[in-house]
């Protein structure tokens, strides 16, 4: 796709997209007017008509649209009105359109090109993805930086869509490590990967226990983006279980969706691409412990006691509480070897968080109130919402074990997300600025853009926005 910036409108293309705010007055573009009784710019509406200026598509945003509303509106037009995109299109942003709104619009327009039909014989590409397609952009002030940012956000989220939506026989731990290496070379961050043997030598016992029932090689992926004169050092850890059967505590429902159990890891991978692409002046070290939790004679057992990188022993109560075991080694390794000033882990960790919040927001756990507020503010800015749950010591007995230092599951039907967070907290070495994001309900969703559950890329922009706001 080519971008062409214009100062004044001329009838360059057959399709002209004009975002408008809701009003009781008639809507006018050039000499063309639309009576408010026909179209007033209400949220989730659009009006298209053929004129001498071409096809005019007025896109209703409501009275005071937020970032997510604008992004979704443009995604909807791109996804559901693709037949109107030929070889060129013009976007006309009104005078009162803020820079962040332009970023949201461009980002939505691009991710609207995404389709789930990766393996269909007749899987056609969206016109916007073709090199010859030209988008003319008209805005009041210089908006090039915000347009470019919108593209970069969308590209990172599209990559994350692919990682989560493609099947587990394609998206293996090795695929994730190769993706990280290739992306690091392209965007400018270093990558180191530990396979099974190296992980044994290093002592990543908890991580290896989860993957020991699979023939697929586990991959402990370490990425480091280190610009000159970086202002702060942020650490990220993402759960990378490329498929989760539950292990010997095999899942009795919903296993078909367990290709998404690496969505936290995918969010970290996508965020690393975006952070490096935006050239943010912060050092970011990220770890994705990637493996497959399978059922086999070699699988770890309920009641096993395993070791961890931290040196603490873990009693296995439930092999389906496996993500926290890989994150435990990821957190311990990151903090011991890199000691970042702030640490954030992100994972599709518990059904409990889904039961609490549904599909509306992620669960946030931290004892650092400033970190909590900054993460929530970043989420509010872009529509990736978080809500804080407690980490009180009253829940600490839920992870106490009589035979080992700690156990991986409380065994109780209540407070599952909290006890999982308490387990992770145990492996942070009392880090003063650590947060855990449980995104089980928001990473793999049902919405208007597909007939089946699919990736949302939740976390990619949230993490990046949080770092930008430092």
- Residues designated catalytic: 251, 324
Phi, psi (deg, nearest 5) at residue 260: -85, 0
Q: What H or E segment, with its residue span, contains residue 275? A: helix 263-277
Reduced to 3 states (helix: H, G, I; strand: E, B; else coil), residue 325 is helix
Q: Cβ(218)–Cβ(211) under 8 Å? A: yes
CA distances from 374 to 212, 339, 418, 462 (A): 38, 20, 21, 11
- What is the rounded radius of gyration, in angstroms, for the C-alpha atoms of the chain? 24
- What's 81-112 look like in SS3? CHHHCCCEEEEECCCCCCHHHHHHHHHHHHHC
**Cα distance between residue 289 and residue 323, in whole Å:** 9
In angstroms, the CA 461 to CA 103 distance is 12
Nearest to 367 by CA among 422, 292, 449: 422
Burial 343-358 (b: 16+ CB within 10 A, else e): bbbbbbbbebbbebbe
Strands 32-34 and 27-29: antiparallel
Smallest Cα–Cα separation from 160: which of 152, 128, 450, 383?
152
Tokens of 13: 């293309």
Exposure string over 34-43, b if 16+ CB within 10 A, otherwise e: beeeebbbee
Q: What is the rounded CA–CA span in Å between residue 380 and residue 382?
A: 6
Question: CB-based contacts of 371: which residues, under 8 Å, 6+ apart?
Answer: 342, 433, 434, 435
Phi, psi of 12 (to 5 degrees): -85, -30
């Amino acid at each position: 796709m080519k971008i062409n910036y214009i100062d004044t409108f001329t009838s360059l293309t057959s399709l002209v997209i004009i975002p408008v705010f809701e009003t009781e007055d008639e809507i006018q573009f050039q000499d063309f007017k639309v009576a408010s009784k026909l179209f007033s710019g209400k949220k989730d509406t659009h009006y298209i008509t053929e004129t001498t200026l071409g096809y005019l598509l007025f896109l209703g945003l409501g009275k005071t649209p937020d970032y997510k509303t604008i992004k979704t509106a443009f995604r909807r037009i791109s996804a559901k009105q693709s037949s109107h995109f030929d070889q060129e299109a013009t976007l006309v942003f009104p005078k009162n359109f803020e820079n962040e709104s332009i970023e949201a619009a461009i980002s939505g327009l691009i991710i609207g090109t995404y389709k789930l039909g990766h393996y269909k014989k007749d899987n056609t590409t969206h016109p916007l993805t073709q090199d010859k397609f030209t988008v003319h952009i008209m805005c009041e002030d210089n908006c090039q930086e915000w347009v470019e940012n919108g593209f970069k956000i969308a590209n990172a989220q599209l990559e994350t869509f692919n990682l989560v939506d493609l099947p587990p026989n394609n998206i293996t731990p090795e695929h994730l490590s190769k993706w990280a290496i290739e992306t690091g070379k392209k965007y400018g961050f270093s990558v180191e990967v530990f396979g099974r043997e190296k992980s044994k030598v290093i002592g990543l016992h908890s991580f290896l226990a989860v993957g020991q029932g699979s023939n697929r090689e586990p991959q402990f992926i370490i990425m480091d983006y280190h610009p000159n004169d970086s202002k702060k050092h942020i650490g990220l850890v993402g759960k990378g279980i490329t498929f989760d059967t539950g292990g010997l505590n095999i899942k009795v429902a919903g296993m078909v969706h367990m290709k998404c159990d690496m969505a936290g890891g995918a969010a970290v991978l996508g965020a690393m691409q975006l952070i490096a692409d935006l050239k943010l002046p912060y050092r970011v070290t990220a770890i994705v412990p990637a493996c497959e939790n399978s059922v086999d004679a070699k699988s770890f057992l309920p009641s096993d006691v395993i070791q961890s990188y931290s040196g603490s022993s873990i009693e296995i109560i439930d092999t389906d509480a496996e993500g926290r075991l890989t994150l435990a080694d990821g957190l311990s390794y990151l903090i011991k070897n890199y000691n970042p000033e702030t640490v954030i882990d992100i994972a599709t960790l518990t059904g409990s968080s889904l039961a609490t919040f549904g599909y509306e927001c992620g669960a946030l756990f931290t004892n650092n109130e400033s970190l909590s507020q900054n993460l929530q503010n970043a989420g509010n800015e872009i529509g990736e919402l978080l809500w804080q749950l407690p980490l009180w010591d009253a829940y600490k007995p839920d992870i106490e074990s009589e035979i080992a230092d700690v156990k991986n599951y409380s065994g109780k039907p209540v407070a599952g997300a909290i006890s999982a967070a308490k387990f992770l907290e145990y492996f942070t070495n009392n880090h003063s600025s650590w947060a855990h994001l449980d995104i089980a309900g928001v990473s793999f969703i049902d919405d208007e853009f597909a007939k089946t559950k699919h990736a949302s890329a939740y976390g990619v922009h949230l993490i990046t926005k949080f770092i930008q706001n430092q």
